[in-house]
């Protein structure tokens, strides 16, 4: 499994618009097979959103990263705020205790 994590900060006056854009972007991403989407607003940090997508395969994730749907997500964050952190985690080698 591969996990795409994005931490974004909304411009204070654009928080509602970013929330709506994230909802729309994740709905668009749902058309890809093998993905589970999650988005939440931080209760500890002002104007911070966490987006997490779980992908069953690396090829599905790569296809998404090259898609207009991903560009929409990144573009919306760039216009309405900023990306604080973006990472891809491959959980194939992670052990669960």
CATH architecture designation of domain 2-91: 2-Layer Sandwich (3.30)
Cβ within 8 Å of residue 95, ≥6 positions away: none
Do 24 and 69 meet the contact criterion of CB atoms below 8 Å apart?
no
Q: What is the pLDDT of residues 40-70, one digit of tens each?
A: 999 999 999 999 999 999 999 999 999 999 9
Where along the chain do its domains lie?
2-91
pLDDT at 93: 56
Q: Using CA atoms, how far apart are residues 33 and 48, in angstroms rounded to an integer?
A: 28
Q: Give this prediction's pTM.
A: 0.88
């Amino acid at each position: 499994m591969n996990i795409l994590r994005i931490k974004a900060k909304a411009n204070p006056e654009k928080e509602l618009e970013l929330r709506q854009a994230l909802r729309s972007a994740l709905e668009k991403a749902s058309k890809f097979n093998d993905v589970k989407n999650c988005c939440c607003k931080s209760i500890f940090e002002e104007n911070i959103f966490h987006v997490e997508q779980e992908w069953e395969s690396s090829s599905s994730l790569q296809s998404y990263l090259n898609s207009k749907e991903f560009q929409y997500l990144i573009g919306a964050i760039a216009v309405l705020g900023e990306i604080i952190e973006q990472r891809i985690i491959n959980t194939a080698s992670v052990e669960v205790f």
